[in-house]
Amino acid sequence: MMADHNPFLATRRARVSSLVDMGLGKGLEIGALDSPVALRSVCRVRYIDVLDTASLREHYRHDPNVDGDGLVEVDYALYDEQGTIHPLREVVQDGAPFDWVVASHVIEHVPDLIRWLADISEVMADDGHLLLVIPDRRYTFDAIRPQTTVGQILQAHTLEETIPSERAVYDYVRSVVSVSAPEIWSGRSASTDARMNSLELAAEVRQKVLQTAEYFDCHVWMFTPESFVEQIDELGRLGLCDFVVESVIPTAVGELEFYAALKRLSRGLTTEQIAAQREGSLRRFTDAPTVTTNADRSTGAPSRSLEVSDRERRLIELKRRTMTRFRRLRQ
């Protein structure tokens, strides 16, 4: 395997590991490609991706942004040889239950957030942890996009969306801005003047998505640490999420992502016990400054920053080219 091409990866691994000891039990990582957070050399992990390793290697063979030799050996592929997609809970059933699941820069892409969380919770052990690396919309190319609402999440679930919605695609294409996290942290404000795409292009992409039903990969959901905690709690209180937020590492100065550990509620709890755990989880973040805005944090030397917009934009293009090779997921 070649050396990690992402200089921030070691820091990301250290932060995720600080949330939960991945050396205990067995785990699953979703969409690791060539930048796994969990390493087989230090923990018991299996990898799941859209395609198997050989197909991923062929797809990225000429792409300088992906180290083909460094791709993880995929244990589970969502697509089979006939091009049929299978639910995560079905694909990984022989390895379940997992004590922890890792997903780095994945949750913001899933069309139906409620279904995705439910699939993961189904293959997890009681009190297991879902470890997430999530872009903070304030410091990415989503900086001027409207914030995600619980109503939007509910609607996507009701409609059983399997591809990013018209709303998500249009808002992404129309609102994506060419500004990086270091620039925003240094005082540059993101505005409509920094839009990368024209109204005409956004309208063209919208029409293509409506007419062809192709999978157009984009950020469907936008979060900040505060909004994420609140929305996971609200989904739980609506009976639509089996997780509670256990801990959060807020977005560091100069960077674009925050980290969250969600605990899977034990099966068989009473309604009162579930309510008590949810109340305790939310109180942890409202009574103590666990989730803070960066303006309130202690100043000091900024930590090494990610190359935000360029790298994130490249990853979206890579995923888009993979997914458009397949037919619409829902017939």
Q: Residue 191: its pLDDT value, please?
A: 85
Q: Residue 84: its pLDDT value, please?
A: 85
Predicted TM-score (pTM) of the model is 0.85
Q: Residue 179: its pLDDT value, please?
A: 86
Q: Residue 282: its pLDDT value, please?
A: 86
Q: Residue 136: its pLDDT value, please?
A: 96
Q: Residue 42: its pLDDT value, please?
A: 94
> 47 in a domain, yes or no?
yes
Q: Residue 308: its pLDDT value, please?
A: 41
Q: Are 106 and 226 in contact (CB under 8 A)?
A: no
Mean pLDDT in order along the chain per 10 residues (331 residues): 64 96 96 95 96 90 84 94 87 96 96 97 98 96 92 98 94 92 89 90 93 90 96 97 97 95 97 95 74 37 40 52 42 40
> 240 in a domain, yes or no?
yes
How many CB atoms are located within 10 Å of the residue 237 CB?
A: 14
> 188 in a domain, yes or no?
no
The C-alpha atoms of residue 217 and residue 27 are separated, in whole angstroms, by: 26
Read out DSSP for 218-279? -----B-HHHHHHHHHHHHHTT---EEEEEEEPPPTT--EEEEEEEEPPTT--HHHHHHHHH
Helix 113-122 × helix 150-158 angle, to 10°: 70
The C-alpha atoms of residue 241 and residue 230 are separated, in whole angstroms, by: 13
Cβ neighbours of residue 83 under 8 Å, at least 6 residues apart? 326, 327
> 149 in a domain, yes or no?
no
Domain of 303 in residue numbering reads as 9-140+224-323
* Omega within 30 of 0 (cis) for the link into 36: no
> 257 in a domain, yes or no?
yes
Q: Output Rg (C-alpha) for the chain, integer angstroms.
A: 19
The C-alpha atoms of residue 173 and residue 271 are separated, in whole angstroms, by: 43
pLDDT tens string 30-87: 999 999 999 999 999 999 999 999 999 998 888 887 888 889 999 999 988 887 889 9
DSSP 8-state assignment for residue 79: B
Q: Provide the token pair at 47.
A: 């990898």
Nearest by Cα to 197 from 215, 221, 177, 225: 177
Q: Residue 103: its pLDDT value, please?
A: 98
Q: Residue 329: its pLDDT value, please?
A: 37
Considering its fold, how many domains does the chain have in total? 1
> 83 in a domain, yes or no?
yes
C-alpha pair distances (Å), 308 with each of 45, 312, 314: 28, 6, 10
Nearest by Cα to 6 from 105, 101, 142, 130: 105
pLDDT tens string 311-324: 555 555 555 444 44
Helix (H, G, I), strand (E, B) or coil at 103: strand
> 294 in a domain, yes or no?
yes
Phi and psi at residue 309, to the nearest 5°: -65, -45
- Please count the residues of the chain: 331
End-to-end CA separation in angstroms for the chain: 39
Q: Are 261 and 246 in contact (CB under 8 A)?
A: yes
C-alpha pair distances (Å), 129 with each of 118, 241, 262, 273: 13, 14, 5, 19
Domain at 76, CATH number: 3.40.50.150
Q: Residue 159: its pLDDT value, please?
A: 97
The C-alpha atoms of residue 141 and residue 121 are separated, in whole angstroms, by: 30
> 53 in a domain, yes or no?
yes
Helix (H, G, I), strand (E, B) or coil at 289: coil
